[in-house]
Structure 1
Amino acid sequence: MEQKLSYLREYDKNIKLLTSDEIDKIHKDTIFSTWQEIFKEKDVKKRINLLLSIWEKYLGTELCNTISYLKDHLKDIEIMEVDNSYSILYTIKNSKGEYLYYEGRNPKEEFENEELQKLWKKIPKSIQSFYENMHNGFYYYASESMGLVPFESVTYLGDEDLERNHKINLESSFGFFTNGMGSYVAIDCLNCDNGNATFWSTKIQPKYNIDFWSYVDEWIVIGFES
């Protein structure tokens, strides 16, 4: 535990991992009641299974590879507090024996993205469901990448270079997934039927008409194994 906390505090000195008693004292409107119920379970494996059942309920098809990987490699889940904000910390041991820490932010957090909020109801329902029922972002803790980023970090492509011709409207496009190296899986709110998305990069030509969840699911698993 101390080694884990020492690592986490390299990125934020105010991090605290909560005990079950401390979780019980969190105001009921601050986090989902299901989180509190999950963390009342003393057995880690049962706790993990309860959480992954929620993943399966909302995105069992869309993130099937991610969920399968977590079933095999997720070793612990804890609630993490930073300055009165709460997240679930996922401790993953990958196939190389390396421990990775992923953060799943609280879906009850304030919606901090003005441009995205204007067009949120035009975003595909499955993406809305993830952010509203699962996590406000799920990503590799150390770099906030290789996953779905929190609202505040969703990239508004309208701020990108508009001099080139593009097959999407950048003014209505947002990057929800980032690999941390200038590439995003982006949704154009005006052209997103059936999960249609774009692999947007600052380095190479965009790839249009990709499936949002297929790319995100594949890239999250790549991140686990990197």
Structure 2
Amino acid sequence: MNPTYTALTQYLGAFSVLNELPADSVVPPAWQALLGSPAPDRIRLVIALWEQQYPREFSTLLSVFRQHLVAVEVLAQDTKCSLLYVFKNPRGEYLHYLGQAPLVAPQLPATLSGFPWPDRFLPFYAQLHNGWYEVVSHAVGLLPLEEMLLLSEHEWGILEELDLPSTFSLTNVLGVLSSGAGGYLCWNFNEAVPAGLVWWDDEAPDVVEFWDILDEWAAMGIQDY
């Protein structure tokens, strides 16, 4: 195994890099073409998967993929599979992102099933990854469904300083991405139509266009990490 990958075991636990389809590990059909393919082909195949599903929503991130993605590996962790994305940022540093295997419906946790999810959001988890994030920080990418942050389950000292509408409830705000620096990109289900919200741990929240910020923060995580 690449020595650089070996160092990742402190974050991922034991894993192996797959080059052929194993008997005891379930590799999603969309990933099977990656096994045994040359590195440049694996990169092209993965970019194509994202482009087929989310060409507009991740337009900035896809541009970063084309410039900075230098390797893609299929990993086996026990009987589960994931994709390891290796980026070389503008400073020449290597960053590693993990994309967990897409979910097989129905696998939505009970705590999330009651929310009126926007049409384009949950398909990411079934078509691409159940979470895609930087390995060391576990941030700057979408969290796995089971790790999403229900804001009402945490203490926020900033609440005492905020002048929030009486109709606003943290039980209806779900963090789906951590910036790694005190900010959380959230879906705000207090609105008639779910809307983007950036929740900060030390300042007032910002109403945002969800997909714009998701694309921007994910790209910045690679370019400016």
TM-score using structure 1 length? 0.86
Map of 2:16 onto structure 1:
16
Rounded to whole Å, the distance in 1 between the matches of 2:164 and 2:33 is 47
Unaligned stretches of 5+ residues in structure 2: none
Which residue identity is paired with 2:91? K
Does structure 1 residue 32 correspond to structure 2 residue 28? yes
Say whether the 8 Å CA contact 2:21–2:27 is kept in structure 1: no
1:178 — aligned with what? 178
Q: Counterpart of 1:169? A: 169
Q: Residues 124-203 of structure 1: matches in 2 within 5 Å?
A: 124-160=118-154, 161=156, 165-167=163-165, 168-191=168-191, 193=193, 196-203=195-202
Q: Report what 1:204 is aligned to.
A: 203
In 2: Cα distance, 1:55 partner to 1:213 partner: 15
Q: Are positions 1:56 and 2:42 aligned together?
A: no
Question: In the aligned structure 1, how far is the partner of 2:192 from the partner of 2:63?
Answer: 27
The answer to whether the 8 A contact 2:103-2:125 is kept is: no
Contact residue 71 and residue 86 of structure 2 kept, 8 A: yes
Q: Distance in 2 between matches of 1:51 and 1:192?
A: 36
Amino acid at match of 1:186: C
Instruction: Deviation per CA, 1:75-100: give whole Å up to 9, x if none.
Output: 11111122322110001111111111
Over the aligned positions, Cα root-mean-square deviation in angstroms equals 2.2
TM-score, normalised to structure 2, is 0.87
Q: How far is the alpha carbon of 1:13 from its aligned partner?
A: 3.7
Equivalent residues in 2 for 1:78-93, closer than 5 Å: 78-93=73-88
Q: Is contact 2:21–2:32 with CA below 8 Å preserved after alignment? A: no
Q: Which amino acid aligns with 1:90?
A: Y
Unpaired segments of 5 or more residues in structure 1?
Answer: none
SS at match of 2:141: strand
Q: Percent identity?
A: 27
More helix by share: 1
Q: Take 1:112 and 1:180, find their aligned partners in 2: how far apart are those partners?
A: 25
Q: How many residues align?
A: 217
- Worse-superposed segment, 93-102 or 12-21: 12-21
Shift of 1:31: 4.0
> Residue 2 in 1 paired to residue 13 in 2?
no
Using the TM superposition, give the Cα deviation of residue 139 of structure 1 relative to its aligned residue in structure 2, in angstroms: 0.6
